[in-house]
């Protein structure tokens, strides 16, 4: 059975970005847990969280956890901050021509299909030398789901219907990218 690692960013004494009454560490866990449920309800898959409560887990520890399980895909959940709006995804630099890049194309497009319905901006498919992308032995992607410190983006992130729809879009994107069986 394919193993998909779902990695809710931050946790414990590391809240991540904050703004508009939201904390990144709470949102990432909420969404990753929903994606886990949706994947396991809809596909033949083992979906595993790197943390399932509000605890701090180091970046290398997250990658080593996935490596130790021999996972097939690693998906890290984050929310942006610092001035901007919309969605972007990241893979490790230089991997766009590999399976990692092919999966980014599929996952990014599926999530953007959801965001486009709300008129939200596509900031693009990007590359960055993030530890969880660098230290994972399997294809990996990091999602920056909207800006927590942008009032418009934050109002969507506070909407349970929107969060459910986003979680389904992420689950569908992963399923397509990894060719999960219903």
- Could you give the CA distance from residue 123 to residue 63 in angstroms, rounded to a whole number? 26
Which segment (49-57, 73-81, 135-143, 156-164) binds Zn ion by CB under 5 A? 73-81
Instruction: Report the residue from 9, 86, 139, 173 that binds Zn ion according to the rule CB under 5 A.
Output: 9
Task: Give the burial string for 152-164 (b: 16+ CB within 10 Å, else e).
Answer: ebbebbeeeebbe
- Closest separation between CB of residue 16 and Zn ion, Å? 4
Query: Active-site residue among 24, 88, 110, 144?
Result: 144
CB 156 within 8 A of CB 22: no
DSSP string, 2-49: -EEEEEE--BTTB--SEETTEEHHHHHHHHHHHHHHHHHHHSS-EEEE
- For position 8 contacting Zn ion by CB under 5 A, the verdict is no
The contact pattern for Zn ion, residues 123-162, with x = CB under 5 A and - = no contact, is ----------------------------------------
Residue 24 among the catalytic residues: no
Q: Which is nearer to Zn ion, 78 or 150 (CB)?
A: 78
Residue 42's CB is within 10 A of a number of other CB atoms, namely 14
Which segment (13-21, 92-100, 101-109, 110-118) binds Zn ion by CB under 5 A? 13-21
DSSP 72: S
Q: Which is nearer to Zn ion, 143 or 178 (CB)?
A: 143
Instruction: Report the residue from 2, 11, 16, 173 that binds Zn ion according to the rule CB under 5 A.
Output: 16
Q: Which is nearer to Zn ion, 16 or 19 (CB)?
A: 16
Of 133, 159, 116, 136, nearest to 78 (Cα)? 133
Task: By CB under 5 A, name the binding residues for Zn ion.
Answer: 9, 16, 78
């Amino acid at each position: 059975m394919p193993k998909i690692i779902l990695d809710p960013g931050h946790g414990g004494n590391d809240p991540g970005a904050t703004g508009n009454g939201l904390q990144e560490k709470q949102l990432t866990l909420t969404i990753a847990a929903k994606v886990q449920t949706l994947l396991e309800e809809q596909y033949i898959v083992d979906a595993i969280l790197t943390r399932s409560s509000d605890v701090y887990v180091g970046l290398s520890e997250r990658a080593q956890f996935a490596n130790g399980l021999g996972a097939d895909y690693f998906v890290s959940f984050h929310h942006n901050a610092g001035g901007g709006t919309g969605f972007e995804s990241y893979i490790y630099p230089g991997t766009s021509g590999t399976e990692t890049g092919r999966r980014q194309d599929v996952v990014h497009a599926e999530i953007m299909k959801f965001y486009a319905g709300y008129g939200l901006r596509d900031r693009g498919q990007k590359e960055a030398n993030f530890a969880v992308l660098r230290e994972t032995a399997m294809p990996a992607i990091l999602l920056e789901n909207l800006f927590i410190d942008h009032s418009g983006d934050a109002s969507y992130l506070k909407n349970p219907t929107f969060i459910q729809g986003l979680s389904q879009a992420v689950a569908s994107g992963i399923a397509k990218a990894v060719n999960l069986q219903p």
